[in-house]
C-alpha cells in the first residue's frame, strides 16, 4: 500500500492559531463581563442648554476611556441622566427620584449654584456624594455639607485676581454689578473684602433682577453713568450679561474712560463659544478665566471630542469644548476611581423607619450604605487629569492659577496670570517674574480698553448727580479777608473727603506740573540754565567723614593761633625791651636773655585777674573754694610796691628774691593771749 503524505500550508497554520486566540480572548472577556458589578450614578443637568450637552458628552467619553484602560476593574458606572429643566424645583425633583427610586451611589451635577443648594441637602440626608463641576457660589461651602464636593473653582478664589488688577492700574473705586440671586450674592462679601485690602472702595452695589426688562437695565445703567466711578465688575449669568452689555454699548458706556471686568462665569460663556454679535459688544472688557495647562493629551482629547460631538449632534457645529466639559471629564474619572477603591459590597440603601401613613417622599428617603466609603475615597483620590493635578482638599478642588484675558476682535487675548504665591504676572516663568513689580501694570501685557485705546482710564469722572456747590461773590469791593488772594511762601493745599479717589490723581497732577518739562523751561527762562553744582555727574559718594575732610578748618585755626602768638611775642618784646638793654655793661647776653625770660614767666600784677585774686587773698577767701584759710599756718608773701617798675627792679644783678615769712599763729596766741602784738616784717635788701 502506498500512502500519500500531505504537508500543511504555513499560512493556514497561522490563521488557525490566530482564530483560536481570538476565541479564547472573547470567552475571557465575556467571563469578565458577567463578573462586573454595575454601580448606578445619577447625572442632573439642564439638557436644553449647549453647555450641558458638552458636559454630558465629556462624561460619556470619560467612562469609555477609563474602562478601556482599566479593563480589570470589577465595578462599572451606569449613568442615569435627568433633566433639571433650568429650574430649582426640577433639579430637586430629579435628585430625589434618583436617590429614592434608582438608589444612585453619587450624583454628578447639578448645573447652577441655586439648583445645587437643595440637592446638597438631599445628598447629606441620604449619604450620597454630590459632585458639581459648575456650581461656583461660595455660599454653598457655608452649608457645611460633608457630602458636597466642588469639582470646579470657587468664586471666592478669583476675587484676589480682580483686586490685583484694580491695584495694578491704580483704580480707587469699583462698582459690582451682579444678578439678584444666590449665585450673584455669594461672591459680594469676598469681593468687597479683597478690594478693601488694596485700598479700593465700593461706593455702590448695582443689583439686577434675573427677570429685569431692558428698560429696567437701561435705567440702572443711566444711574451708574451719573456717578463718579467708571470701573465696573460684572458677575451674572450669560443671558442677563448679554443684555447688560448690549444696552451698555447702546447708551455709550462701552466707550473710552470706562472699565469693565467680567468674572469667570461670563468669561467662559462668552469666549468658549464666540458669538460675533456678543463679542462686538464687549470689546476691551477684561475677564478672569481658569487656567488649564496646554498638554498633548488635552489637544488629542479636544480633537477626539470634536469628532464625537459632531457625530452625536450634527446640527451644533459651532460648539467648542470649554472648561466645564474638561472638569466633567475629570470628575467622572475621579468618581470611577473612588467607586472601585471603596469596594464592591454594600451598594444598597437602608430603608427609613417611618409610619405607614407618611405621605412625603422625604420621609421615606433611605440611606446609602456605601456612601461614606465613596466619600472617603473621593477625598483621597488624586491623579493627573486634563485640567492638571486633580485633588480635593476639604471638599474643594484645588485651582493653582487663573488667567487674565482682554476681549479684542473675535475672542479673548491672554494678557497675564494670577497665582496665590506671586500674584499678578505676565508669564508663569519664574525668571521673568522676579524682575517685575507685582503691583505694576508691567506685570501684564498691553491692554486695549473700551474705545480701542491703550491709555489706562483713571477710573472716575466728575459726578453729575451730586448737589452743586453755590459760591456767593459780592458785587461791591469789600470782605478782602474772605475773597482776596493771599500770596504766602508757605505753599497751598487741598481738602478732600476721607477716602476720596481724587487724592492720588491730584497729587500726581501737581507733581507732573511742578516737576515737568514746562516748569523746567520756565525756570530756565527766569533763572538761567547755569548750574552751580561743581560736579555735573550723577555719581554720589557715600564715603564717611575723616580728618582730611576738615583740613580747611584746621588750617584756618592754626594760622589764627600762630598769628596771635606772633603778635603777642612782638608786643611783649617791645614792652620789655629795657630788660635786653640793661645798664650793666658787664652782664652777658645769656644773663640778659635769662632775665628776659624770667620777666616773661612772671605774672603781671597789673592784670585785673591777679588784682582780684590778691584782694580775695587779703580778705581770707580762696577763689576756688570761697572758704577761709586754715588758722594753723599763715603765709605772707611780700612784694614790692606796685609803682616800682619791674624792669628797673630786675635790672640789678645783685637783687635777691622776695622774702617769705611763715608764722605759726598758735604760738603767737599762746605767748600773749591778752595783748596781741603787732606783726612787723622788715625787708632787708643787704
pLDDT per 10-residue tile (average), the chain, 686 residues: 48 65 59 74 95 96 96 95 94 95 96 92 95 92 81 92 94 96 94 94 95 96 94 96 96 95 93 81 95 93 95 88 95 97 85 65 85 95 94 89 92 92 85 55 89 93 70 65 61 73 80 83 77 53 67 89 90 78 67 77 64 58 45 43 42 44 46 43 42
d(CA 564, CA 510): 57
Q: How many residues does the chain have?
A: 686
Contact 412, 247 (CB under 8 A): no
Q: Is the dihedral of CA 179, 180, 183, 184 positive or negative?
A: positive
Nearest 5°: the CA angle 247, 253, 259 is 120
- SS3 of 453-506: ECCCCCCECCCCCCCCCCCCCCCCCCCHHHHCCCCCCCCCCCCCCCCCCHHHHH
Contact 52, 46 (CB under 8 A): yes
d(CA 77, CA 80): 10
In terms of C-beta density within 10 A (0-12 exposed, 13-18 middle, 19 or more buried), how is residue 320 classed? middle
In terms of C-beta density within 10 A (0-12 exposed, 13-18 middle, 19 or more buried), how is residue 461 classed? middle
- Domains within the chain, CATH numbers bracketed: 30-154+294-350+365-397 (3.40.50.2300), 155-292+401-443 (3.40.50.2300), 609-673 (no CATH)
Please state the φ and ψ torsions of residue 395, each to the nearest 5 degrees.
Answer: 75, 10
Residue 135 CB contacts under 8 Å (≥ 6 apart), including other chains: 110, 111, 112, 113, 115, 116, 150, 152
CA distance between the termini of the chain: 190
> What pLDDT is recorded for position 194?
96
Three-class SS of residue 638?
coil
> What pLDDT is recorded for position 311?
94
d(CA 174, CA 261): 10
Q: What are the CA-CA distances from residue 543 to residues 380, 534, 539, 551, 671 (Å)? A: 62, 18, 12, 16, 79
Give the cell for residue 400.
493653582
Rg (the chain; Cα; Å): 51
Beta bridge partners of 405: 287, 414
Please state the φ and ψ torsions of residue 328, each to the nearest 5 degrees.
Answer: -65, -40
Nearest CA to 401 out of 194, 164, 197, 157 is that of 157
Contact 401, 291 (CB under 8 A): yes
Contact 52, 13 (CB under 8 A): no
> What pLDDT is recorded for position 277?
84
d(CA 336, CA 341): 9
Give the cell for residue 629.
584759710
> What pLDDT is recorded for position 450?
96
Contact 149, 178 (CB under 8 A): no
Sheet with 411-419, strands from edge to edge, namely 206-208, 175-179, 231-235, 259-262, 286-290, 402-408, 411-419, 423-425
Beta bridge partners of 402: 290, 418
pLDDT tens profile 348-391 = 898 877 665 555 677 778 999 999 999 999 999 999 999 999 99
Beta bridge partners of 130: 107, 148
d(CA 406, CA 132): 28
| Prediction pTM value | 0.67
Q: Is the dihedral of CA 539, 540, 541, 545 positive or negative?
A: positive
DSSP, res 353: -
Q: What is the DSSP string of 602-630?
A: S--TTSHHHHHHHHHHHTT--TTT--PPP
Neighbours of 484 (CB within 10 A): 10
> What pLDDT is recorded for position 629?
46
> What pLDDT is recorded for position 644?
42
pLDDT tens profile 173-206 = 999 999 999 999 999 999 999 999 999 999 999 9
Nearest CA to 247 out of 216, 286, 279 is that of 216
Three-class SS of residue 585?
coil
Amino acid at each position: 500500500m502506498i500512502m500519500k503524505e500531505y504537508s500543511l500550508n504555513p499560512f493556514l497554520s497561522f490563521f488557525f492559531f490566530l482564530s483560536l486566540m481570538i476565541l479564547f480572548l472573547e470567552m475571557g472577556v465575556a467571563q469578565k463581563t458577567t463578573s462586573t458589578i454595575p454601580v448606578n450614578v445619577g447625572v442632573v443637568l439642564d439638557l436644553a442648554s449647549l453647555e450641558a450637552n458638552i458636559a454630558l458628552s465629556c462624561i460619556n467619553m470619560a467612562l469609555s476611556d477609563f474602562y478601556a484602560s482599566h479593563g480589570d476593574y470589577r465595578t462599572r458606572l451606569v449613568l442615569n441622566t435627568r433633566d433639571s429643566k433650568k429650574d430649582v424645583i426640577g433639579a430637586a425633583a430629579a435628585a430625589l427620584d434618583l436617590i429614592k427610586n434608582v438608589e444612585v451611589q453619587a450624583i454628578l451635577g447639578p448645573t447652577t449654584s441655586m439648583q445645587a443648594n437643595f440637592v446638597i441637602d438631599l445628598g447629606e440626608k441620604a449619604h450620597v456624594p454630590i459632585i458639581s463641576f459648575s456650581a461656583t457660589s461660595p455660599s454653598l461651602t457655608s452649608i457645611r455639607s460633608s457630602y458636597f464636593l466642588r469639582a470646579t473653582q470657587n468664586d471666592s478664589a478669583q476675587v484676589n485676581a480682580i483686586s490685583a488688577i484694580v491695584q495694578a492700574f491704580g483704580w480707587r473705586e469699583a462698582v459690582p454689578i451682579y444678578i439678584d440671586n444666590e449665585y450673584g450674592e455669594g461672591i459680594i462679601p469676598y469681593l468687597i473684602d479683597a478690594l478693601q485690602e488694596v485700598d479700593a472702595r465700593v461706593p455702590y452695589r448695582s443689583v439686577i433682577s434675573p427677570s429685569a426688562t431692558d428698560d429696567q437695565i437701561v435705567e440702572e445703567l443711566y444711574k451708574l453713568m451719573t456717578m463718579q466711578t467708571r470701573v465696573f465688575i460684572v458677575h451674572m449669568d450669560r443671558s442677563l450679561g448679554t443684555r447688560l452689555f448690549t444696552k451698555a454699548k447702546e447708551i455709550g458706556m462701552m466707550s473710552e474712560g470706562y472699565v469693565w471686568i467680567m468674572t469667570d462665569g461670563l468669561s467662559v460663556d462668552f469666549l468658549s463659544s464666540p458669538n460675533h454679535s456678543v463679542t462686538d459688544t464687549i470689546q476691551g472688557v477684561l475677564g478672569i478665566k481658569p487656567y488649564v495647562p496646554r498638554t498633548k493629551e488635552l489637544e488629542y482629547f479636544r480633537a477626539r471630542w470634536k469628532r464625537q460631538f459632531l457625530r452625536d449632534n450634527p446640527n451644533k457645529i459651532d460648539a467648542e469644548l470649554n472648561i466645564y466639559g474638561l472638569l466633567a471629564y475629570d470628575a467622572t474619572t475621579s468618581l470611577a476611581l473612588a467607586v472601585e477603591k471603596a469596594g464592591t459590597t454594600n451598594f444598597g440603601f437602608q430603608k427609613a423607619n417611618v409610619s405607614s401613613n407618611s405621605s412625603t417622599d422625604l420621609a421615606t428617603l433611605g440611606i446609602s450604605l456605601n456612601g461614606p466609603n465613596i466619600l472617603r475615597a473621593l477625598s483621597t483620590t488624586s491623579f493627573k487629569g486634563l485640567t492638571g493635578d486633580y485633588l480635593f482638599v476639604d471638599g474643594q478642588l484645588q485651582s493653582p492659577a487663573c488667567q487674565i484675558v482682554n476681549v479684542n476682535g473675535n475672542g479673548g487675548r491672554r494678557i497675564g496670570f494670577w497665582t496665590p504665591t506671586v500674584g499678578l504676572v505676565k508669564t508663569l516663568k519664574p525668571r521673568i517674574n522676579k524682575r517685575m513689580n507685582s503691583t505694576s501694570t508691567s506685570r501684564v501685557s498691553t491692554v486695549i480698553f473700551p474705545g480701542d485705546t491703550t491709555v489706562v482710564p483713571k477710573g472716575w469722572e466728575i459726578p453729575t448727580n451730586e448737589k452743586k456747590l453755590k459760591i456767593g461773590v459780592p458785587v461791591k469791593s469789600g470782605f478782602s479777608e474772605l475773597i482776596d488772594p493771599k500770596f504766602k511762601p508757605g505753599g497751598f493745599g487741598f481738602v478732600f473727603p476721607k477716602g476720596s479717589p481724587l487724592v492720588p490723581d491730584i497729587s500726581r497732577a501737581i507733581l507732573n506740573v511742578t516737576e515737568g518739562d514746562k516748569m523746567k523751561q520756565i525756570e530756565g527762562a527766569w533763572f538761567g540754565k547755569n548750574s552751580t553744582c561743581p560736579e555735573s555727574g550723577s555719581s554720589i559718594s557715600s564715603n564717611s567723614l575723616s580728618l582730611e575732610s576738615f583740613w580747611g578748618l584746621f588750617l584756618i585755626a592754626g594760622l589764627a593761633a600762630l598769628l596771635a602768638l606772633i603778635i603777642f611775642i612782638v608786643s611783649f618784646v617791645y614792652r620789655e625791651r629795657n630788660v635786653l638793654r640793661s645798664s650793666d655793661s658787664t652782664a652777658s647776653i645769656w644773663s640778659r636773655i635769662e632775665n628776659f625770660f624770667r620777666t616773661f614767666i612772671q605774672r603781671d600784677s597789673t592784670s585785673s585777674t591777679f588784682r582780684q585774686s590778691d584782694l580775695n587773698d587779703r580778705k581770707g577767701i580762696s577763689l576756688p573754694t570761697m572758704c577761709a584759710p586754715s588758722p594753723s599756718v599763715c603765709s605772707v608773701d611780700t612784694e614790692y610796691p606796685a609803682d616800682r617798675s619791674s624792669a628797673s627792679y630786675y635790672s640789678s644783678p645783685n637783687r635777691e628774691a622776695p622774702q617769705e615769712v611763715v608764722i605759726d599763729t598758735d604760738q603767737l596766741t599762746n605767748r600773749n593771749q591778752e595783748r596781741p602784738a603787732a606783726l612787723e616784717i622788715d625787708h632787708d635788701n643787704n
